[in-house]
């Protein structure tokens, strides 16, 4: 039997159905399905995506059986409609539309009113009793066919329309009379002939074949290819072509057309949402020539049609069990549905619709969880801009959306200014080339942070995400001039004190103070605000998280450096701390001077003096964190970054440093110079610091264990996990482990405490992953530092890769930024290897991840599959990680059922 390439659909007689999207495309599959369930749809047929695939694979040729199948389907359509293509009494007119398995709105070609010629136009006029409609359809068809199918510039037709309108003093297209439209049709045919070098085709079947050809050809036009690339649409066979009997919404006051959603797609409200136009065709709605009316008005204007439409809406939603986005046309009081598809929605709507549908018993909690994307859930947590205000705002540049939310404020260029302006009650946006740990107080004071360099794991990005603060990083076209205190972007100049607004979800930077609102989830969950807890958004969030927790197997921890962050993360569901970066506390207040004294000290004694000053600060910090994390594990990492990061980098700072150390500026400069490293990321950092300065490891261990013992005495349950960073060999680990244990044991026996602690390591150097069996024979836990592991596996600097990564992704050398989504093939292989080898020698080895990937849904799912015990992420990513961890379990359950 010949292979089937064409599928017919008409009331109760469909050859396809909704499950056949891959070969019928979304539109074709749903048209067929709607016919089967008794929804009124103009009949037609779908030429499958397999034809598109064949066409491109065989060098623009069609399967030999295709023509025969199309002819048979035309005959069937003619019979169903009781009309004939090109007939002078009762012509059949069709629309020819594209439709891939994944919707690509407006990207490919469409031809309407096909089948018109000099005979059919007369037939259409007779049949409709409407000469104007017939000739207007004819001129539109020549324009559309000429442009879409034959590539004649639409402007040529448009110019002629303007000339004729001027000639007859017609203001609107609608003002042209039948005679004038006939003249226009004549002129349009001339234009067609001039550019195509052939007369306009009068044979309706030839028109149809040419239009089908054009739609298949449009699969690979530039905008469609780019759209697929941007939206990561891959693996499709091509587009299908839908040929469908035309219905006219422009046949007078009992006709019309519209688009609608079965629920509100921006806030999820269960209310029919849409617009329509009386006496119009679909393209009039899209072109925005006339302003459509809200769908409720249809209730007044055509109550019967509204009732029918409302019934269809209910039917479709029940049938598809999801929000639908529909198109409809009313022809002289008869309603036809032209399309239905799953409606695109905002984050808030996604959550509300999923939640409501469970309550309505339409879907299960598992399905609800699978329908919410991590980033959609995230949208509930952050302040958002008012969409109307955004549409009016001037966007000046787009950078990397590094920290989510919406922030507006006055521009300042230094961390000090950020703090002092805030003290004066102002809201500020801190603008820097890149931030450093020295800027943290200013970053904290700012509403949002904007940087011109640095990627998604740059300092600004990591810190901002940790706080749930809005940040746009790597805005390379920003020209920041610190001395003039201004930014230049193209011709726009932004001065200190001017307002900027940052959209951390899209990466857009806007001029002015754009209006925004706070999330009730954050007020309710993190700030414990009782009013916010009554908000439906808060309640939905709590319920969704409860469902997620019922399924997930992974534990979710957080990366937090302060008691405040720890508390916020715990409220958001963190089950412990996976990473405390001790260095983040080094900048606060007076302690930075003790840190600097330690770094610049010339002998052990001087270093010990400095460290003694630091000890109480660290101990207090840890006590605060243990208290907040009562009953949960807390992983604290020994000092990691290169030391020069803590030194002053301006003249004033150096002067004060010299004064405090009682040395000359020249001597200080000399000392600082000695600390300079060409390649600090591969230099004196991580465990290497404590190996060269064991006294540092002793001080930090002392602070941790004393804090733990003090808190335990107060009845707090403490589970300290001491983590050694950046090891590459087991010897490094062993050397430091011994110091840690000796120090810890001596303190515990001195204070008579029975606190239990563990010692483990980060795995962030590929070598460590490869010798994980040896490392695990000593270490009690592994935490994958996938920021560094990615940096060292690829050899891409995590701070500089922003320069070339976008192009790598654009050119498909990489499918995604490996600093955001874990590279499963390479870095992932190292993770899997290390887990496998590690558990060989240490069956109880606890494994987690604390790189930024711990908050990325795809990476979380990978971590589950790799057998990790937990993921650790920034406090405000905890809910996303909880959701992703549940989704992978549900996904696996679904697979094992099949
Ligand atoms: C990492 O490298 O993944 C990590 C968590 O450590 P840091 O980002 O502090 O280098
Ligand atoms: Mg690291």
Task: Indicate whether residue 340 lines ligand 1 (CB < 6 A).
Answer: no
The whole-number average pLDDT for the span 790-799 is: 96
- Residue of the CA atom closest to atom 4 of ligand 1: 785
Q: Which of the listed residues 640, 642, 645, 863 should we mutate to test ligand 1's pocket, taking the one with most ligand atoms within 8 A of CB?
A: 640
Task: Indicate whether residue 22 lines ligand 1 (CB < 6 A).
Answer: no
The whole-number average pLDDT for the span 546-553 is: 98
Please, what is the end-to-end C-alpha distance for the chain in angstroms? 30
Task: Indicate whether residue 581 lines ligand 1 (CB < 6 A).
Answer: yes
Give the number of the atom of ligand 1 that is nearest the alpha carbon of residue 791. Answer: 2
Task: Indicate whether residue 874 lines ligand 1 (CB < 6 A).
Answer: no
Closest ligand, as measured to the CA of 463: 1
- Residue of the CA atom closest to atom 10 of ligand 1: 788
Flag whether pLDDT at 226 surpasses 60: yes
Flag whether pLDDT at 576 surpasses 90: yes
Closest ligand, as measured to the CA of 457: 1
Give the number of the atom of ligand 1 that is nearest the alpha carbon of residue 457. Answer: 8
To the nearest 10°, report the CA torsion of 284, 287, 290, 293: 80
Residue 726 CA, ligand 2 centroid: distance in Å: 7
Contact 53, 255 (CB under 8 A): no
The whole-number average pLDDT for the span 40-49 is: 97
DSSP for 788-813 reads: HHHHHHHT--TTTGGGTHHHHHHTTS
pLDDT for the residue numbered 587: 82
Task: Indicate whether residue 552 lines ligand 1 (CB < 6 A).
Answer: no
For residue 634, give the H/E element and its range.
strand 633-637
Contact 596, 586 (CB under 8 A): no
3-state secondary structure 19-65: HHHHHHHHHHHHHHHHHHCCCCCCCEEEECHHHHHHHHHCCCCCCCC
DSSP for 308-364 reads: HHHHHHHHHHHHHTS-EEEEEEEETTEEEEEEEEEPP--HHHHHHHHHHHHHTTSS-
pLDDT for the residue numbered 847: 98
pLDDT for the residue numbered 650: 79
Task: Indicate whether residue 30 lines ligand 1 (CB < 6 A).
Answer: no
Percent of the chain with pLDDT over 90: 75
Residue 112 CA, ligand 2 centroid: distance in Å: 59
The whole-number average pLDDT for the span 21-43 is: 96
Task: Indicate whether residue 787 lines ligand 1 (CB < 6 A).
Answer: yes
Task: Indicate whether residue 783 lines ligand 1 (CB < 6 A).
Answer: no
Task: Indicate whether residue 645 lines ligand 1 (CB < 6 A).
Answer: no
pLDDT for the residue numbered 285: 59
The whole-number average pLDDT for the span 211-231 is: 85
Contacts of 793 (CB under 8 A, 6+ apart): 766, 823, 826, 827, 830
Give the number of the atom of ligand 1 that is nearest the alpha carbon of residue 581. Answer: 9
The whole-number average pLDDT for the span 750-755 is: 97
Percent of the chain with pLDDT over 70: 97
Integer-rounded Cα Rg, in Å, for the chain is 33
Flag whether pLDDT at 897 surpasses 70: no
Residue 461 CA, ligand 1 centroid: distance in Å: 13
The whole-number average pLDDT for the span 855-883 is: 97
In tens, the pLDDT along 512-530 reads 999 887 788 999 999 999 9
Closest ligand, as measured to the CA of 637: 1
**Lowest pLDDT segment from 361-375, 551-565, 566-580, 582-596:** 582-596
Contact 524, 385 (CB under 8 A): no
- Residue of the CA atom closest to atom 8 of ligand 1: 787
pLDDT for the residue numbered 284: 64
Task: Indicate whether residue 568 lines ligand 1 (CB < 6 A).
Answer: no
At 534, the pLDDT band (50, 70, 90 cuts) reads very high
pLDDT for the residue numbered 289: 52
pLDDT for the residue numbered 62: 95
Residue 786 CA, ligand 1 centroid: distance in Å: 7
At 264, the pLDDT band (50, 70, 90 cuts) reads confident
Phi and psi (nearest 5°) for 841? -95, -20
* Distance of alpha carbon 440 from alpha carbon 688, whole angstroms: 25
In tens, the pLDDT along 84-94 reads 999 998 999 99
Annotation says 459 is catalytic: yes
Q: 486: exposed, middle or buried (C-beta count within 10 Å: 0-12, 13-18, 19+)?
A: middle
Annotation says 850 is catalytic: yes
Task: Indicate whether residue 628 lines ligand 1 (CB < 6 A).
Answer: no
Flag whether pLDDT at 465 surpasses 80: no
In tens, the pLDDT along 620-630 reads 999 999 999 99
In tens, the pLDDT along 468-478 reads 788 998 888 89
Give the number of the atom of ligand 1 that is nearest the alpha carbon of residue 850. Answer: 5
pLDDT for the residue numbered 251: 84
The whole-number average pLDDT for the span 328-333 is: 94
pLDDT for the residue numbered 283: 66
In tens, the pLDDT along 485-496 reads 999 999 999 999
Q: 303: exposed, middle or buried (C-beta count within 10 Å: 0-12, 13-18, 19+)?
A: exposed
| Per-residue CA distances from 502 to 412, 444, 449, 476, 507 (Å) | 14, 16, 8, 15, 7
In tens, the pLDDT along 775-789 reads 999 999 999 999 999
- Residue of the CA atom closest to atom 3 of ligand 1: 785
Q: Which of the listed residues 642, 683, 728, 762 should we mutate to test ligand 1's pocket, taking the one with most ligand atoms within 8 A of CB?
A: 762
Residue 840 CA, ligand 1 centroid: distance in Å: 26
pLDDT for the residue numbered 102: 87
pLDDT for the residue numbered 441: 83
* Distance of alpha carbon 15 from alpha carbon 440, whole angstroms: 64
What integer best gives the mean pLDDT of the chain?
92
- Residue of the CA atom closest to atom 9 of ligand 1: 581
The whole-number average pLDDT for the span 803-818 is: 90
Flag whether pLDDT at 387 surpasses 80: no
pLDDT for the residue numbered 290: 62
In tens, the pLDDT along 390-448 reads 888 999 999 888 877 899 999 999 999 999 999 999 999 999 998 887 788 899 899 99
pLDDT for the residue numbered 479: 93
Residue 334 CA, ligand 2 centroid: distance in Å: 66
Contact 467, 565 (CB under 8 A): yes
User: How does 543-580 read in b/e, with b if 16+ C-beta sit within 10 Å?
Assistant: bbbebbeebbebbbbbbbbbbebbbbbbbbbbbbbbbb
Give the number of the atom of ligand 1 that is nearest the alpha carbon of residue 787. Answer: 3
At 286, the pLDDT band (50, 70, 90 cuts) reads low
Residue 569 CA, ligand 1 centroid: distance in Å: 19
Give me the helix-helix angle, 347-359 and 536-551, nearest 10°: 70
Contact 513, 505 (CB under 8 A): no
Task: Indicate whether residue 686 lines ligand 1 (CB < 6 A).
Answer: no
The residue annotated as part of the active site, out of 35, 52, 459, 847, is 459
- Residue of the CA atom closest to atom 6 of ligand 1: 785
Task: Indicate whether residue 856 lines ligand 1 (CB < 6 A).
Answer: no
Residue 738 CA, ligand 1 centroid: distance in Å: 24
Residue 866 CA, ligand 2 centroid: distance in Å: 20
Q: For residue 268, what are its two tokens?
A: 């999820």
At 252, the pLDDT band (50, 70, 90 cuts) reads confident
Task: Indicate whether residue 437 lines ligand 1 (CB < 6 A).
Answer: no
Task: Indicate whether residue 69 lines ligand 1 (CB < 6 A).
Answer: no
Residue 788 CA, ligand 1 centroid: distance in Å: 6
Q: For residue 807, what are its two tokens?
A: 């192009």
Residue 201 CA, ligand 1 centroid: distance in Å: 67
Give the number of the atom of ligand 1 that is nearest the alpha carbon of residue 725. Answer: 6
The residue annotated as part of the active site, out of 850, 853, 864, 873, is 850
Task: Indicate whether residue 820 lines ligand 1 (CB < 6 A).
Answer: no
């Amino acid at each position: 039997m010949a292979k089937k390439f064409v599928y017919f659909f008409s009331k109760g007689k469909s050859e396809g159905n909704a499950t056949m999207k891959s070969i019928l495309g979304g539109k074709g599959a749903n048209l067929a399905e709607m016919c089967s369930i008794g929804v009124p749809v103009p009949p037609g047929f779908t030429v499958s995506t397999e034809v598109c695939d064949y066409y491109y694979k065989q060098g623009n040729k069609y399967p030999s059986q295709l023509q025969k199948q199309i002819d048979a389907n035309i005959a069937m359509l003619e019979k169903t409609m009781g009309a004939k293509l090109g007939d002078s009494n009762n012509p059949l007119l069709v629309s020819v539309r594209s439709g891939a398995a994944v919707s690509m709105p407006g990207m490919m070609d469409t031809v309407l009113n096909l089948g018109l010629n000099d005979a059919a136009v007369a037939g259409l006029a007779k049949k409709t009793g409407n000469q104007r409609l017939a000739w207007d359809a004819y001129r539109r068809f020549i324009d559309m066919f000429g442009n879409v199918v034959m590539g004649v510039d639409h402007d040529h037709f448009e110019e002629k329309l303007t000339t004729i309108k001027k000639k007859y003093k017609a203001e609107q297209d609608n003002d042209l009379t039948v005679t004038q439209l006939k003249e226009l049709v004549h002129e349009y045919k001339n234009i067609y002939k001039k550019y195509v070098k052939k007369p306009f085709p009068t044979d309706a079947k030839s028109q149809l074949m040419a239009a089908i050809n054009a739609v298949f050809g449009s699969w690979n036009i530039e905008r469609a290819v780019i759209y697929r690339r941007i939206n990561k649409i891959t693996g499709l066979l091509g587009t299908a072509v839908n040929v469908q009997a035309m219905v006219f919404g422009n046949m007078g006051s009992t006709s019309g057309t519209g688009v609608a959603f079965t629920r509100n797609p921006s806030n999820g409200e269960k209310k029919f949402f849409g617009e329509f136009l009386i006496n119009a065709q679909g393209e009039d709605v899209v072109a925005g020539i006339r302003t459509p009316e809200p769908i409720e008005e249809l209730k007044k204007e055509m109550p019967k049609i509204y009732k029918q439409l409302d019934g269809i809406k209910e039917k479709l939603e029940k049938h598809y069990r999801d929000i639908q986005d529909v198109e409809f046309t009313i022809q002289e009081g008869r309603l036809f549905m032209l399309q239905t598809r799953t409606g695109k929605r905002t984050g808030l709507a996604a959550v509300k619709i999923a939640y409501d549908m469970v309550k309505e018993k339409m879907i299960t909690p598992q399905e609800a969880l699978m329908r919410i994307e991590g980033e959609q859930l995230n949208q509930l947590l952050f302040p958002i801009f008012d969409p109307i205000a955004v549409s009016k705002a001037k966007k000046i540049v787009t950078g990397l959306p590094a920290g989510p939310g919406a922030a507006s404020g006055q521009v300042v260029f230094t961390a000090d200014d950020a703090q002092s302006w805030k003290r004066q009650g102002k809201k500020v946006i801190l603008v820097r080339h890149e931030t450093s740990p020295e800027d943290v107080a200013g970053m904290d004071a700012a509403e949002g942070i904007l940087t011109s360099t640095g990627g998604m794991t740059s300092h600004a990005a990591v810190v901002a995400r940790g706080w749930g603060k809005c940040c746009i990083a790597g805005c390379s076209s920003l020209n920041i001039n610190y001395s003039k205190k201004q930014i230049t972007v193209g011709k726009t100049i932004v001065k200190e004190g001017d307002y900027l607004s940052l959209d951390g979800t899209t990466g857009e930077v806007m001029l002015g103070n754009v209006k925004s609102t706070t999330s009730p989830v954050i007020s309710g969950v993190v700030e414990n605000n009782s009013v916010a807890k009554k908000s439906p958004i808060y309640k939905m969030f709590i319920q969704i998280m409860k469902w997620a927790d019922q399924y997930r197997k992974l534990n979710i921890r957080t990366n937090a450096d302060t008691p405040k962050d720890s508390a916020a993360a715990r409220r958001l569901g963190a089950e412990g701390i996976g990473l405390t970066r001790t260095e983040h506390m080094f900048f606060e207040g007076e302690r930075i001077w003790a840190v600097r004294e330690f770094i610049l000290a010339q002998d052990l004694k001087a270093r010990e003096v400095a460290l003694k000053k630091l000890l109480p600060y660290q101990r207090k910090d840890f006590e605060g964190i243990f208290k907040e994390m009562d009953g949960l594990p807390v992983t604290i990492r020994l000092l990691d970054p290169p030391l020069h990061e803590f030194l002053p980098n301006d003249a004033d700072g150096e002067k004060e440093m010299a004064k405090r150390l009682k040395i000359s500026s020249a001597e200080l400069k000399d000392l600082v110079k000695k600390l300079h490293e060409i390649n600090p990321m591969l230099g004196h950092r991580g465990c290497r610091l404590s190996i060269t300065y064991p006294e540092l490891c002793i001080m930090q261990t002392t602070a941790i264990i004393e804090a733990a013992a003090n808190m335990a005495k107060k009845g707090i349950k403490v589970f300290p996990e001491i983590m050694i960073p950046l090891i590459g060999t087991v010897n490094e680990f062993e050397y430091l482990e011994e110091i840690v244990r000796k120090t810890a044991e001596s303190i515990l026996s001195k204070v008579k405490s029975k606190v239990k602690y563990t010692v483990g390591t980060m795995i962030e150097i590929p070598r460590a992953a490869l010798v994980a069996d040896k490392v695990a024979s000593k270490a009690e836990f592994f935490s994958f530092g996938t920021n560094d592991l990615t940096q060292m596996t690829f050899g891409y600097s995590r701070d500089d890769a922003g320069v070339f990564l976008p192009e790598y992704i654009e050119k498909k050398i990489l499918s995604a930024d490996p600093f955001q989504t874990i590279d499963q093939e390479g870095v992932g292989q190292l993770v899997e290897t290390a887990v496998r080898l590690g558990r060989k020698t240490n069956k109880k080895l606890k494994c987690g991840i604390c790189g930024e990937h711990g908050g990325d849904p795809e990476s979380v799912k990978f971590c589950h599959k790799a057998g990790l015990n937990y993921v650790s992420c920034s406090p405000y990513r905890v809910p996303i990680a909880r959701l992703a961890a549940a989704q992978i379990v549900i996904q696996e359950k679904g697979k094992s059922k099949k």
